[in-house]
Structures are given as structure tokens and as C-alpha cells.
Structure 1
């Protein structure tokens, strides 16, 4: 575990903070005060560590309902990242295969103060090259994993499992400008980056894992994908398979919120709304609840991590199937990345997310598998989700899985 002040972190220049959900009015006037990085091998409870660290630095993470106001002389807030593997640990589940990007932490908390002057303009990006992408599994292996999930469903072990594949590519140059381009993809509600010594994460996520504003908790699970054409939209709305898969995850998320909500307050505000991300239609629902009195960050993270839409149902059984089927760990994907500040929290689910370590770019994509899933269609859907991310990074826009 690393716990450093700014002088103990790699000497990064003061630049505009680009963490997803950071306050827009403050982004060019923030300076890192302190950070915590944690990895699975460090042991301990990452949720408790994050809560204690934030509370010690003036952010009321031990009681998210406590009134707090943004003030220029106090911490603005903190970027918060939780990997899928850390989320699995919080749920007492299997963390899955080892990460293909071990330089990335499994928890990162970066606290920011307001700087006296705006950050200088970023220098123009230098030369950038991305080599060929190499998948961690072939199309055939991906399809076989879909078949294995269907077999587990047939045995009654699970109802649904989200399968995720990984691909990596060599690069030369500074990866941060390339990863920052992901934020400009259409529909990237949680577009932004977070970086540390030897690693960078870039997100184009459209999905809210959990948000808290004015005592109200909100999650927006996404399940169901079709090409962003008129025919694709009609097909998505008419698909019994996609709707059944979606409803299962809505029920799971309702149950997760109920663990940290005032009794009887959980509501489904919008069900199966069709929204666009790049060249895809996706089905999204909105579920909200009144935050329970005295709720701390640690209990909230334990309730919602890992996200149900990227895990499956039942969640713990799905994690076992994921661990058995996925040859590469989920790394920066399928976790949480966002912002916690005085009086609010907003974390995106790290779908449509890529990362860089010292030598490779990493990208992940997948989809939910049910009994009605067609293996070839699932392989094609994962490729369609990966394509815009790879194109934005400057590589070959061909499908990620061959």
C-alpha cells in the first residue's frame, strides 16, 4: 500500500484535473494534496481504508448524509477508483484471474485542494504510435466461454453472467493524451482520466454505478445493446431476451440499494430507456432511494461493488463463473471511477475503459450472457463495444477479438 503526499508521488506536472465527475468550475485550479494506492496483495479492507483516508483529509466519508459545503479554502474533493477485483473482495467473492496490467492499483484515492492559480495549458501531444492489438482469447475461446455460461445456467448455478475479454497493444509516446480522448466519445457520461506513477486509466463510460446528491442514491444499470440504427432501436425494444436480461439486473440493483437505503424508499424511476453511446443503442434504467442515516462510504461500496450489470445474478455465483471462464483479469474495467466531494458522490462503472502501464495499452469489452444468448452474436457485440475505444486510442479500428 502506498500513501503519499504530492512530493512522494512521481513528479507529475500540475495539469487540469480530468477525473470523471470532478467539478467543472474547479478542474483547472486543483492541486494534488495526498493519495492512497492499494493492491490486492496489500491485504485489508479497501473500502474501510478509503473511508478512513478521506475522512482524515477533511472529507466526510464516514457519514455521507452529513451536511457539507464546497469551500475554496478546504479540499475540493477526491478522485476515487475501485477495481473490479477489489469490488469482488468487498462482496466476499472470487477476484478472478490476475490483472494483465499489474502496475495499476486496485484502489486509488487522490485528494485535491484548490490551487491559487490555474494550471498551465497542457503541452501539445508528442508523437504517438499504437501497435497491433493482441486478444487474451480468440473468437472461438470467447464463444466457448459463452457456451460454458449457458451450461451453468442450465444447471441452475446462475441466471446470468457478464463475460469480459481483454486485448493489449504496444505503444510509444505519452499515453495520457490518447486516453483523454475517450472522454470525447458520444455518450461518455463518465469521460475522464486518472493517473499515477507508471499507470493511466481512461474512461468513456456511460453508466452510473452509484451517485449520491441531497440524500438521494441513484444507480443507472445498462443492459441490452444494438446498432444505433432505426432498425436496431426497434429490435432492442422488441427483444424479449434483452428485456428479461435487463429486468434481472434491475432487480439485483434494487436489492443492492435496499441494503443502504431508508426502508421502503427504493423506486424504479425509469425502466428500459433506450439511449445512444457512439454507434450503439443501449437500454438503461434509473433506480433511486433515500440514503439511510449515517451511511459511510465503506458500507456503500460494499453494497454496490462489483456492479451487478457487469457481474450477473446471483452476484457471488456469477463471480465464480467469471473466474472460471475469463483467462485475463478485468484490470481497470468493470470497477468504479469518479468523484467524492463535500455533500455528494458520483461514481461511474468502468465499462468502455482502457488503461496504460509502462509498455502496453489495455482494453476490455464484453456482455451479459443468458440462456438465450447466441455465442457468435455475443462475440460480435463485444467487438462492437471495443471498436470506438480502440479507434479513439489511435489504433486499428477493427474488432478487438479475432
Structure 2
């Protein structure tokens, strides 16, 4: 049954993360594909074929950019949930999503329209527009003690040799009244939100404030920028991040995983790490970020590329399939819209953010997720505190406190 309170919305693409500035006010929805875990078909192949049918050059991404040429459409928004990314590689999808109104894969194709005044959204504004905005208390999916127990379980799995690192994620939901879109737009204004944007559908909306690049492709050159390692955005926090053997080891492990992921679609010998452990700010936190690059092998299409990079290594762990099994066994609810991908695919390339710092709105609740990478040296209490620190700016923005 469609959730109450969120009306179907079809309109411009101005809020899509990664959309070119020239398309923001002229791109109008033309066609949409939605897929859920359990639906027939391979989601990566379905995405590539759908975009190809609409004239986007996604069959071979190794060649030069086609920017400046005439195209049938201006581009497309792509969303892949954590479970959708796991399905692309045959991994464990995890527990059911607490926001089942949101599909696991969404592709929205846009075309340029000369005069948008001639077209109107099919059902007006999204959300409960009666009454002032109000957000109820947060209901966590697990307690701090249960979170700490999951961290300890991962440490035991690492000691057994089952995995090297696993990302543990918690969830919380809060009921709301009024229109959620202004709250999601406040989220977009968080400092460091490189992939700030909103994607909407029938009965749902996604708000993103992610700083992390999952995948960027231009002219056959692929880039991923994993983030791992978090401390408070103070001088002491910066010094702590730079000097911590645990944070650096956790980070390097994921960089190696991302190097391996890109190697599956790269020309031999072209995988590089031009930047390692750079400290950057998101909201009130320092985070460590690296850049991994490669030249794509001739004939690499979008489906093969998505299967190589999804779900993101920084939010799964290493080895990836083994980490997904641990996640499925330990996390009480699904990751929903978080820890997936959201961004833009156009004739000139791809720009997808990893959906950390991301919120789902359905007809009843707002949903948020936060977590961190667990290694053998992780302290359970510190990991619980880190997840809370990542969620705090998101909660504040949703409440209107920022």
C-alpha cells in the first residue's frame, strides 16, 4: 500500500546531486525505472539497458567525453540502495529496509524543455503540507549496548580470520508532521556536502549531504574517493586523526579494497592513488579521504562498472562479500537509502556520491543511518560515540537547529 502523506511528484531535476548547472532549471522528467530486491532481472544490466534505450552512451565508458554533442536526453539521476548494490554482486542483502516505500534502484531520465511553465508536476508538492514542521523523538533500531556488542562480534570475526574489517551501521526513525522537503533542503546546506541533493518518488524522498565520491567517470578516467577515519573538527582532533595508527590502518585497508575494485575494470597497470589520507572537513568533523584512479578497459559498460564498485568498500569492509555476510547477521534493520549511491549520469560522464549522511522520508517517518568501520583495534564505546557524532549534524539540520 502506498504510504499516506507523500504525493507522487514528477518535475525538474534541479536538486539531483551532480547535475550540471546548465540542466538544473531546464531538465524535466521523461521516464523512470524502479526496481526492488526480489524483482526479476539483474539491476545493473537493467540500469544500463534502460539508459541506453534513452540514448545515453553507457555501453562503453572507456572513450572520450561526448559533451557538446546533441543528445536525445540531457542525463539521468541514478539511485542504488545498499541492498541493491549487494544484489548486483550476489552479496547478502541484509535485513529488510525500515523505509520499504523507497525502491532499491531508481533511474530517472530527464530531457531539456524550453518552457517549463507549460508543464506542471502531476500532484503538486511533496509531503504533509498541513501545519507547521514538527519532528518527533528518534527511535533507534538498536541500543548503545547492542551496538557495542555488534562491534565486539566483528572483532571476534576478525580474530577468527573471517574478515579484516566490517562497517557497522545503526538506524533511527522519527515521526513528522508538515512538509519534509524544507528539512531535507536544510540537510543539503551542511558544510562539506559534496553530493547535496534530493530525489523524490511516489510516497518517498531521499535527502543527501554526502561528502564521499563513490564513482566519477570522465573520458574513460574513473575515480573513487574513499573516506575512512573521523575525529572532531578541532586542532586536537586533526592531530589525533593524523597520528592514529588505528585510523590510518583502517583507511589504508579500504584504499586497497577500492584499488582492487577498480582493477576489475581497469587497463592493466593504470590503477593509481594520487592522494592518500588527506584530511577534510564535513560539518563539525575531520575525515580522512584518499583518491584512487584508473583508466577503464575498452568496452567497459555501466553494468560492469557498477558491479565492480557497488556497494562501496568504505561502508562494507574487506573482503567485501564476507563483510556483507557479517552485516546481514548483525544489523537489526536494513540500510535502506544509506550506504548506496546517488548522483548523475550524462553524455559527458558519471558522478555518483556514496549515500552516507543521507535521510529517507516516507509517509510517516524520517529515517537516518550512521556507523563506522570496525577493525581488531576498535573500542566498542568509541565506535558508538563516532556513529552518534556523524548523526548529530544531520539530526540538527532536520530539526532546524542549524
Residues 1:229 and 2:234 are matched in the alignment: yes
Residues 11-37 of structure 1 deviation map (CA, whole Å, 9 limit, x = unaligned): 536345211001112101111000000
Residue 61 of structure 1 and its aligned partner are, at CA, apart by: 1.4
- Which 10-residue stretch deviates more, 184-193 or 10-19? 10-19
In structure 2, what is the equivalent of residue 306 of structure 1? 311
Residues 65, 343 of structure 1: 8 Å contact kept? no
Structure 2 length-normalised TM? 0.93
SS in 2 for 1:108: strand
Name the CA distance, whole Å, in 2 between partners of 1:202 and 1:369.
26
Structure 2 spans left out of the alignment, 5+ residues: 1-6
Residues 103, 357 of structure 1: 8 Å contact kept? yes
Equivalent of 1:26 in 10, 23, 28: 23
Residues 1:117 and 2:115 are matched in the alignment: yes
Residue 73 of structure 1 and its aligned partner are, at CA, apart by: 6.1
Equivalent of 2:136 in 131, 135, 141: 131
Equivalent residues, number: 388
- Which 10-residue stretch deviates more, 82-91 or 132-141? 82-91
Change (3 A) 1:227 1:123: same
In structure 2, what is the equivalent of residue 400 of structure 1? none
Structure 1 spans left out of the alignment, 5+ residues: 1-9, 398-402
In structure 2, what is the equivalent of residue 100 of structure 1? 98
Residues 262, 290 of structure 1: 8 Å contact kept? yes
In structure 1, what is the equivalent of residue 4 of structure 2? none
SS in 2 for 1:371: coil
- Which 10-residue stretch deviates more, 257-266 or 58-67? 58-67
SS in 2 for 1:366: strand
Name the CA distance, whole Å, in 2 between partners of 1:376 and 1:11.
42
Change (3 A) 1:34 1:390: same
In structure 2, what is the equivalent of residue 86 of structure 1? 84
1:1-400 correspondence to structure 2 within 5 Å: 12=9, 14-15=11-12, 17-67=14-64, 68-70=66-68, 74-117=72-115, 127-394=132-399
Name the CA distance, whole Å, in 2 between partners of 1:72 and 1:185.
36
Residues 198-241 of structure 1 deviation map (CA, whole Å, 9 limit, x = unaligned): 01001100000010012210000000000000000000000000
Change (3 A) 1:70 1:78: farther
Residue 123 of structure 1 and its aligned partner are, at CA, apart by: 8.3
Residue 194 of structure 1 and its aligned partner are, at CA, apart by: 0.4
- Which 10-residue stretch deviates more, 15-24 or 339-348? 15-24
Residues 132, 395 of structure 1: 8 Å contact kept? no
Residues 164, 367 of structure 1: 8 Å contact kept? yes
| Greater than 3 Å deviation, 4+ residue runs | 13-16, 70-73, 122-126
Residues 64, 343 of structure 1: 8 Å contact kept? no
Residues 352, 364 of structure 1: 8 Å contact kept? yes
Change (3 A) 1:43 1:143: same
- Which 10-residue stretch deviates more, 10-19 or 128-137? 10-19
SS in 2 for 1:300: helix
Name the CA distance, whole Å, in 2 between partners of 1:200 and 1:385.
21
Name the CA distance, whole Å, in 1 between partners of 2:238 and 2:67.
42
Name the CA distance, whole Å, in 2 between partners of 1:97 and 1:42.
17
- Which 10-residue stretch deviates more, 170-179 or 10-19? 10-19
Residues 60, 66 of structure 1: 8 Å contact kept? no
RMSD: 1.9
Name the CA distance, whole Å, in 1 between partners of 2:29 and 2:389.
37
